[in-house]
């Protein structure tokens, strides 16, 4: 299937267009191998431009790696949060809401007190990119940003999109292939395999019990936040999340063993 990629937010974003006969490859979650160059629907230039523009705008405002970003100016004390743009304050409000919904396990504040909205920014950008594609009249597509995946429509007529969840011990291998049967449209993966230890944990000690957590569900922001929450909060956060939200989870423990929710163990149908 034809795919277009670009780098942003310290990762790679890939865009595929579905809906035509002949496409047979899935959209892999994480840094999986390319789909083999199978023929598919070419990505329109305006679609790629729209998605790239969305991610660029979010990165320019919310990246702590960019000294000129608005959130970096807040971190340095150049401006106060009350002086920030409405977009940034709205994003902060979303992060605070998720902090409350996860009993504080998910937080927009780093241990050093710096405001860090990266826990919601990428998924919000993915969601906006999806809206931009729908606005262009494209109803079948997948947007994958560093392992966080949102899809719409069918990969090809009568064929669902498939998410490949990468093995953290060997990133050229897949742990599972998960059909994204509507209304399930989103997958997010969090953990230390790709970026090292970057999630502060409240699960006792400084090391997260899960090496990787993939969450499958209806909404990209929800699954992204919950993947981070489960990595940070451990088994208690996993149990609370699956009791509260309509999600499925595949988690990899430190010893390489797997924990899967019932829907993934039983398979489709």
**Any idea which fold 3-266 has?**
T-fold (3.10.520)
pTM of the predicted model over 0.85: yes
pLDDT in tens, 145-159: 998 999 999 999 989
Q: Give yes or no for a contact between 188 and 147, defined as CB atoms under 8 angstroms apart.
A: yes
In angstroms, rounded to a whole number, what is the distance separating the alpha carbons of residues 177 and 162?
Answer: 6
Which residues face 14 on adjacent strands? 5, 144
Contact at 8 Å (CB) between 197 and 232?
Answer: no
Within 8 A by CB and 6+ apart from 195, the residues are none
Q: Name the CA radius of gyration of the chain, rounded.
A: 18
* Inter-residue contact 28 to 147 (CB < 8 Å): no
pLDDT tens digits, 67-117: 999 999 999 999 999 999 999 999 999 999 999 999 999 999 999 999 999
Domains of the chain, by residue range, sit at: 3-266
Residue 228: per-residue pLDDT: 96
Q: What is the mean pLDDT of the chain?
A: 88
Percent above pLDDT 70 for the chain: 85
> If we measure between CA atoms, which residue out of 251, 131, 129 comes closest to residue 190?
251
């Amino acid at each position: 299937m034809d795919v277009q990629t670009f780098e942003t937010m310290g990762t790679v974003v890939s865009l595929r267009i579905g809906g035509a006969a002949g496409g047979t490859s899935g959209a892999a979650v994480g840094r999986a191998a390319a789909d083999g160059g199978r023929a598919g629907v070419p990505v329109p230039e305006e679609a790629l431009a729209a998605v790239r523009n969305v991610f660029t705008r979010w990165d320019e405002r919310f990246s702590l790696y960019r000294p000129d970003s608005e959130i970096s100016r807040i971190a340095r004390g150049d401006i106060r949060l009350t002086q920030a743009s409405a977009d940034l304050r709205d994003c902060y409000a979303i992060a605070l809401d998720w902090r409350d919904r996860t009993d504080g396990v998910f937080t927009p504040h780093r241990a050093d007190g710096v405001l860090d909205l990266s826990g919601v920014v990428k998924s919000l950008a993915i969601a906006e990119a999806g809206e931009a594609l729908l606005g262009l009249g494209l109803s079948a597509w997948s947007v994958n940003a560093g392992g966080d995946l949102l899809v719409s429509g069918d990969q090809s007529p009568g064929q669902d999109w498939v998410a490949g969840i990468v093995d953290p011990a060997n990133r050229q291998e897949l742990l599972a292939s998960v059909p994204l049967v509507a209304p399930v449209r989103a997958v997010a993966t969090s953990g230390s395999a790709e970026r090292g230890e970057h999630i502060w944990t409240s699960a006792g000690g400084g090391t997260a019990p899960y090496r990787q957590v993939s969450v499958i569900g209806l909404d990209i922001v929800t699954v992204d936040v919950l993947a981070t929450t489960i990595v940070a909060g451990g088994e208690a956060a996993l149990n609370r999340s699956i009791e509260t939200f309509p999600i499925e989870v595949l988690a990899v423990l430190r010893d390489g063993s797997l924990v899967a929710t019932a829907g993934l163990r039983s398979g489709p149908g």
